[in-house]
A and B are shown apart, each in its own frame.
Chain A
Amino acid sequence: MTLTDVSWLIGGPQGSGVESAANIFSRACAAMGYQIFGKREFHSNIKGDHSYFTVRVSDQIIRSNVNDVTIMMAFDAETIFRHYDEVIKNGAIVYDSDISETTLNETHTIDNQYRTRLLARLSLKKKPATIQGVLDIAKENGVKLYPISFKTVLSSLADEINNPKIKGMVRMYNVLGVSFSLGVLKMPPKTLLDSIDVIFSKKQAVADLNKKTATFAYNYAAAKFVDFEYTLKPTTKKQNTIMVQGYHGTALGKMACGCRFQPYYPITPASDESVFLESNELVDVIDNRPGSTLVVQTEDEIAAIGMTIGGALTGTRSATCTSGPGFSLMAEALGWAGINEVPIVITTYQRSGPSTGLPTRHGQDDLLSTIHAGHGEFPRIVYASGDVEESFYDTGRCFNYADVYQLPVIHMMDKFIGSSVVTCNKFDTEKITINRGKLLDKVDGNYQRFALTPDNISPRSKLGLENGVFWNTGDESDESGHITEDPELRIKMMDKRLGKLLHILKTIPDDEQAISYGKAEICVISWGSPKGPILDALQMLRKENVDIGFIQIKLLHPFPKDYVEFLLKDVKTIIDIEANHTGQLGELLKQNLERGPDFYIIKYTGRSMTSTEIYDSLKNIIQNKAQKRQVLTHGS
């Protein structure tokens, strides 16, 4: 059996439709039966700056991007200047030949840092600073160059279908690019045309014109470039597959587990989730009238969490969604939810900090700040998902934790997951259980919101419940919720709240705390999105008979000390992999286990990890060639 594993890259100015091109391409390949792993990189800019999409296509399970690009599609100069050396030997650059004379000098969107680096590389190879110059290097690397004049093709098409209007239609370039690519790859065009139909389903005329263009372009490239060795043949289709955007997991998870209120303040890369929830605000309910998710755009993140808490006090499952800067603003109210034992869920899609940092880039640098956010001591749960599919089910868990333990739960996601496009198994609502804990439906007799109980969790009333009138305060309070400064009550109440942490570790099942993917003397520990690239890298190593274990820690606070200790019992070498500068999970390990990582593989460029670079770094460790700390750099 031959394996198919093709990486396709398309780039262009922000706002030029790169994303919809990638969508059409991914959908076409997924419908053909392939697995997809796509990732979008973009600047903090609305129009003009360079953005690109890498889509990896395989007939095997894939969970990450690789360094190598098999086929690159470029209709602007910057894409070629930026990515020409990522294309592998025998790979291809399909490009608009009308730009081959473009110089680096006239490509203004390229920043000075990259310009300087590229000029140095070009002068070393004695090449001119033009598209032709970099293409020459690619050619010397064994890359096949497939020039196509987009203008000429459109013009021939215009003549053939007798529609002169499309001659200069630049917005057709995306469909042209995708179709040329699939023509070069010889993938049967049926799913391409279906994919266009789906994407333009609301505009039949546009769909028809795009399909004509696609067919013409596909045939043109398939006939002209016949020597490309990579092909996408029809493959067996897996049942129950969906193609999702990164934020679909938490958004659909929220809908499925009954979150009905989400106030939020816009922030990249988190707002996509809230916008999706609002776009689908009417919720179908089995055998009942429709429900709804009330999504409210607030004036700031402080209001977002304040409203979320207000909603939760009515018994409504309530959440907000944010990123690092917004989460920092929520810190004070987080403590309020802690002292008042209010179940809320905060989904945070991390990006690179500090401050505004790299606002559209990936990072995992908020682990410790999330665990410690807010003044004073109060219980919370910090839980992290490793990929989109996991995040759907984890969202359900987070709401159960919030309800059962009556505390704020922070569900950690990140930009890598958030802006990926992947195929995965269809989400199964049947697997989501809903546990509201000690939320009351009726109250008899005297009610005290913070009644002391053996498990430290009190029956919870809600606003509007008869006989269930209650008080909350950010001050220390007695059992009824009224202010107290009594030292003995203070001890009881602090012990009650913080006592929940132990109860949590005792009652959350091991396999929800951490996942062990096989044991070995050398073991990787990680959390969140590196999961995919790690698993792919370990699979590559296994093919070389190198066995490395992997523990994905999902419950990060309270830290599952006992279970992780058990999993690491026979491990001789611990390798910490995460996307930050200081190895924050490693710090947690040291704090809790009196044992730290022996090696670190870290990345803080704002770009996600590829399986290739993790594979390379793990190999360095095995071959005794590695420093204690390896810093990954791939990606532009």
Chain B
Amino acid sequence: MDLKLGDYKTQVHNDWCPGCGDFGIVNAIQMSLAEMQIPRHKAAIFSGIGCSGKTSHFINVNGIHTLHGRVLTFAQGAKLANPDMTIIAAGGDGDGLGIGAGHFVAAGRRNLDITYLIFNNGVYGLTKGQASPTLKLGEKTKSLPSPNTNYNVNPIGLAIASGFTFVARSYAYDVRHLKDTITAAVRHKGLSFIDVLQPCPTYNDINTRDWYSGMDQADEITKMAKPRIYKLEESGYDPLVHYDTETELNEKLTQALIKSLEWDTKIPIGVFYKNEIISQYDRRLTDKIPNYLENPPASQIISTNGKSVTDISRILDSLSV
């Protein structure tokens, strides 16, 4: 029986602010799961803390609402023990790039087959609008007492530098593009990252929906708004690493990094970088545990009738005197 979009929605009351970009993200995740027809029990949404952390409660698949900054650690643990699961991790920019930045980097180095979405709005919403790691230096969103004194982190650049093998950006109000990006990310074999631009209507009065639409930068002749956001896939950009050579890799990494620095008047969304050559973590594991994928930790029989079936006699013999 086909799973419908409605099957992926829970009845849990959604308490996000009216107009919040998060609604678009939840819809896109649900649409993507329905599109891929992933059985509900075989998918899990892991979320961090903050407004975005509530995401896991609104989607009708396993939902693990974890700790601030630690979402990737829980998600990777589950994936390692049961590689059959489709796992999507979701969290805010403060969660993933502030308190959780160490895990972000370490996850990149592992390259497990997980998809990670950062809801990037430049502020800590649930604690009333403090600056997040992605807010630009010198910017003053409305509840900041004074302009931001920190330089911003570049999520795309950090993901590329850390070893993520699928690095993309999308926009919360372009639900179709976001859905397509999520589907591509989930289908990618390896760790994928989506930097989701998500206006916070309550606390970020700079990067608003109107700002992304370019309402402030009207075309001089047509007097029409010049949207900031444009799609990489429509600009002839090729994110894929085609060959296993240093030159090719360096070229694609450099191109992605330079692209990620575009901001202000034009903001690219789409896939920045995609590498299918770097080995996935489970392949590194099967090199040492040949039957890891057929018999992963979660599938292993450890007892019959309450008795252990593990045989440690080989080791005990080596310890015998």
Contact = CB atoms under 8 A, between A and B. Distances in A.
B207 interface: no
A260 interface: yes
B111 to A, nearest CB: 13
Contacts of A468: 41
A256 B303 CA distance: 10
Contacts of B312: 252, 255-256, 284, 427, 429
Nearest to B43: A469
B161 to A, nearest CB: 15
A289 B310 CA distance: 11
B49 A464 contact: no
A306 B67 contact: yes
A401 to B, nearest CB: 15
B308 to A, nearest CB: 5
A285 B291 CA distance: 13
A242 B81 contact: no
B149 to A, nearest CB: 27
B262 interface: no
Interface in A38-67: none
Contacts of A473: 56-57, 65
Interface of A: 27, 30-31, 241-244, 248, 252, 255-258, 260-261, 263, 280-292, 294, 296, 298-300, 302-303, 305-318, 332-333, 336, 396, 423, 426-427, 429-430, 432-436, 462-475, 481-483
A314 B81 contact: yes
A388 to B, nearest CB: 11
B310 A283 contact: yes
Interface string B73-104: 11111111110110000000000000000110
A311 B64 CA distance: 12
Contacts of A298: 73, 106
A254 to B, nearest CB: 10
B78 A292 contact: no
A528 B117 CA distance: 46
Contacts of A242: 316, 319-321
Interface stretch (B182-190, B222-230, B292-300): B292-300
A303 B12 contact: no
Contacts of B64: 310, 313, 471-472
Contacts of B80: 261, 263, 294, 296, 307, 310-311
B319 A306 contact: no
B300 to A, nearest CB: 4
Contacts of A282: 289
Contact of A308 (B77, B306, B310): B77
A453 B116 CA distance: 36
Contacts of A241: 320-321
Contacts of A464: 41-42, 82, 84-85, 298
A435 B73 CA distance: 27
Given A258-B300, A482-B12, A310 B321 contact: no
B54 A310 contact: no
Contacts of B298: 311, 314-316, 462-464
A475 B56 CA distance: 13
A31 B319 CA distance: 11
Contacts of B300: 258, 260, 285, 291-292, 316
A285 B309 contact: yes
A241 B57 CA distance: 54
A311 B311 contact: no
B223 to A, nearest CB: 47
Interface in B275-302: 285, 288-289, 291-292, 295-298, 300-302
Contact of B81 (A27, A258, A294, A305): A294
Contacts of B289: 281-282, 292, 294
B81 A284 contact: no
Contacts of A281: 288-289
B9 interface: no
Interface string B210-247: 00000000000000000000000000000000000000
Contacts of A27: 321
A427 B84 CA distance: 35
B55 to A, nearest CB: 11
A302 B321 contact: no
Given A27-B321, A303-B73, A313-B64, A434 B82 contact: no
Interface in B27-77: 39-42, 44, 46, 49, 54, 56-57, 60-67, 70, 72-77
Nearest to A436: B303
Contacts of B82: 314-316, 463-464
Contacts of B75: 310
A302 B102 CA distance: 10
A242 to B, nearest CB: 4
Given A242-B321, A464-B42, 8 more contacts: A284-B310, A285-B301, A286-B309, A286-B310, A296-B80, A300-B102, A314-B297, A471-B64
B319 A243 contact: yes
Nearest to A392: B312
Contacts of B297: 260-261, 292, 294, 311, 314, 316, 318
A470 B45 CA distance: 11
A258 B57 CA distance: 32
A289 B302 contact: no
A469 B65 contact: no
